[in-house]
Structure 1
Amino acid sequence: MPTIPILPSQLVVTTIFNSLESLGFANIAGQVFSGEQAESRQETHLKVSTKKFYTQGLKNLEQQDLHGAIKNFTTTISINPQFASAYSSRGMTRYKLGYKQSAIEDLTTAIEINPYRAKYYSNRGFMLTRLKDYTGAIADYNSALLLNPNLTQAYFNRGAIRLQMENSLAALADFESAIRLDGDFAKAYFNRGVTRYRLREVQGAFEDFQKAAGLFKLQGKIDSYRDAVSKIRQLWY
């Protein structure tokens, strides 16, 4: 289980004015406060710089400038090595560029810094699925859903893995959770239909494929609509 890193604590100087003045140390007090003000200004500058480069990285992503995004996220990390979101965003960008292993390393670092963000686990679970590490992916989706039980896509993704691993009952429960959270989730109906068919619930499968077909058509997903219609025909004839 990842440990939560402890940031270096700031040195707190407690000054007793009367004692300092009586001993003739008033100038030292001024130096201490001046030093604290300078440190505060430096921290403010670092926060501004961190926000500047991270925001620019997000803009790069919007513009599909993936290499520019990585450059700005890396600069953000060099300024503030404890900025978990920068690692997460860089990891997702690296994944898009095909750098899967380094992408997972970035998400792992983000989780180590802040183990309480559900989306970090969900994103790493997605990556691990693509690498066929299904056990690791399910563990990450479990963690994500413990932190946020309303992640529709996490239920769906975990269900898809379980369906592939032929754990039909667990997959069914996940697809039902996804549908409960989003009644228009066409793919969840389609996958629940597949799962029900495997469990020999033919009528339920037929109804799910009908529902999926209707939603796919409304959403303009023609290829998926045709897949659902094909399933309906297989069950009908």
Structure 2
Amino acid sequence: MDDKSHYDAGLAKVNENLFESAIEDFTKAIALNPNNPHYFNQRAVCYLNINKFDLSLFDMNKSIELDDKYAYFYSCRGFLKTKMKDMEGAIDDYEESLELDPQNDITYNNMALALESMGNMNKAQKYYKKSNEILGYDPEKRELNEEQTYMVDKEESTSETAKTEPSESKLKEHIDQVNTENEEANSEEKKKIAKEVFTKKSTFKEFLGFIKNGFKLDKDDQD
């Protein structure tokens, strides 16, 4: 097998949450081609998922060393640094990522979360606002723009909870509610959903839809 085949095999295992096995595939890909930054980044993500933060940081540093103009690498490392409680380092990486990709709503949101955790709410609100603008979400009107997935009736009554920007506290409330209503749900899947809210744009939009819908699941989701 060539390096690309090992890499593709690793990606398939990541989709199945087989992170340790995926690491083996990415390691084989790196051995055959040590100059591809994406191989290191994907292995780093696997290490992150199994809480081997030091190994993850090493690989993320290597991916940036190989390609220091790819915004996603900085965003990934910023997210890792929040897990390592290095908020200042995370903010530095998010700033670098936004310089390279100034229209990434997820990075703005993650920056806001890092600032909020440091008690800098005023600055955090600015980043939440920018994230919402890019996404097309108006927390005051509780609506998304027409081209977005979720729409809200303008005549629908608003609540104080729905007016606030997304934060980790809201995510926790959401997860607690899901835990109560679905006691037999797989716990690892819930952790994956929680992480994806802040790393995948599609899941982030679904979370915003959940907020604007008054923290109620759509009927289609309940079936």
Fold match (TM-score > 0.5): yes
Q: Residue by residue, what CA displacement relative to the aligned partner does 1:93-145 show, whole Å, maximum 9, x if unpaired?
A: 01111111100110010000000111111011001001110110000000110
The answer to whether the 8 A contact 2:111-2:124 is kept is yes
Q: Which residue of 1 aligns with 2:69?
A: 116
> Which contiguous aligned blocks of 4+ residues in structure 1 show a shift greater than 6 angstroms?
204-207
The answer to whether the 8 A contact 1:184-1:215 is kept is no
Q: Which residue of 2 aligns with 1:16?
A: none
Q: Which residue of 2 aligns with 1:74?
A: 27
Under a length normalisation based on structure 1, what TM-score does the superposition of the two structures give? 0.60
The answer to whether the 8 A contact 2:35-2:66 is kept is yes
Q: Which residue of 2 aligns with 1:28?
A: none
Deviation at 1:182, TM superposition (A): 1.4
Q: Which residue of 2 aligns with 1:128?
A: 81
Tell whether 2:207 aligns with 1:208.
no
The answer to whether the 8 A contact 1:94-1:103 is kept is yes
Deviation at 1:218, TM superposition (A): 5.2
Tell whether 2:163 aligns with 1:163.
no
The answer to whether the 8 A contact 1:77-1:86 is kept is yes
Q: Residue by residue, what CA displacement relative to the aligned partner does 1:33-81 show, whole Å, maximum 9, x if unpaired?
A: xxxxxxxxxxxxxxx7111111111111112221221001000111111
Instruction: Give the counterpart letter for 1:91 in structure 2.
Output: A
The unaligned stretches of length 5 or more in structure 2 are 143-158, 166-207
Q: Hey, what's the Cα distance between the residues in 2 that align with 1:102 and 1:116?
A: 22
Under a length normalisation based on structure 2, what TM-score does the superposition of the two structures give? 0.64
Q: Which has the higher helix share?
A: 1
The answer to whether the 8 A contact 2:162-2:214 is kept is no
One of 126, 146, 149 as aligned partner of 1:173: 126
Instruction: Give the counterpart letter for 2:104 in structure 1.
Output: L
Instruction: Report which of the two structures shows the higher radius of gyration computed on alpha carbons.
Output: 1
Q: Which residue of 2 aligns with 1:231?
A: none
Q: Which residue of 2 aligns with 1:61?
A: 14
Instruction: Give the counterpart letter for 1:208 in structure 2.
Output: K
The unaligned stretches of length 5 or more in structure 1 are 1-47, 190-203, 223-237
Deviation at 1:165, TM superposition (A): 1.7
The alignment-based identity, stated in percent, is 26
The answer to whether the 8 A contact 1:178-1:185 is kept is no
Instruction: Give the counterpart letter for 2:216 in structure 1.
Output: K
Which stretch of the first structure deviates more once superposed, 102-111 or 163-172?
Answer: 163-172
Q: Hey, what's the Cα distance between the residues in 1 that align with 2:52 and 2:138?
A: 30
Q: Which residue of 2 aligns with 1:85?
A: 38
Q: Hey, what's the Cα distance between the residues in 1 that align with 2:28 and 2:12?
A: 15
Q: Which residue of 2 aligns with 1:99?
A: 52
Q: Residue by residue, what CA displacement relative to the aligned partner does 1:4-42 show, whole Å, maximum 9, x if unpaired?
A: xxxxxxxxxxxxxxxxxxxxxxxxxxxxxxxxxxxxxxx
